[in-house]
Amino acid sequence: MAIYKHTAGSFKVEASALNEIVDFSVNVTVNVADTTPIGVTWAENTELGKSWTMSITCNYDPDDTAQTALITAYTTGDALLTSIAAWGGATSNYAGSALITAATITKSVGSPDKFTATFTGRGTLSYT
């Protein structure tokens, strides 16, 4: 089994890379409907479609133009992003169009300030 270290990776929004990445995640969900008829013991499910989300956490940097752009987009601008991309290595690249659904700055005693953003996909998520 291969073990991967977090030594490479990037996250871009509208072609601008976010700096100081701590972690990011990609979640793909299959939406299903229960189509089990009455009297059948085992559930029968039908795929309705797929959806996806991404999230990223960075060490907060008020001089990072990508972080500032996301905060602005969430609070006063357009929440639709035509291009977000997460790169985890040579064969784990995800990209798509999304809505920014949260932008959070966290301050905590004993740790650096963090910036977290979450996104909900709008259409297909590509994977290469």
Could you report the per-residue pLDDT of 55-75, keeping only the tens digit for each?
999 999 989 988 988 888 888
Greater pLDDT, 80 or 44:
44
Q: What is the mean pLDDT of residues 6-21?
A: 81
For residues 119 and 53, is the Cβ–Cβ distance under 8 A?
A: yes
Local structure of 80: helix, strand or coil: strand
End-to-end CA, the chain:
21
Write down the pLDDT at residue 16: 85
Residue 7 has pLDDT above 80, yes or no: no
Q: What whole-number percentage of the chain has pLDDT above 70?
A: 91
Greater pLDDT, 52 or 4:
52
Write down the pLDDT at residue 11: 86
Write down the pLDDT at residue 6: 59
DSSP, res 27: E
Q: Which residues contact 41 (CB under 8 A, 6 or more apart)?
A: none
Mean pLDDT of the chain: 88
- Residue 94, CA distances (Å) to 23, 26, 54, 76, 115 in order: 15, 8, 10, 27, 21
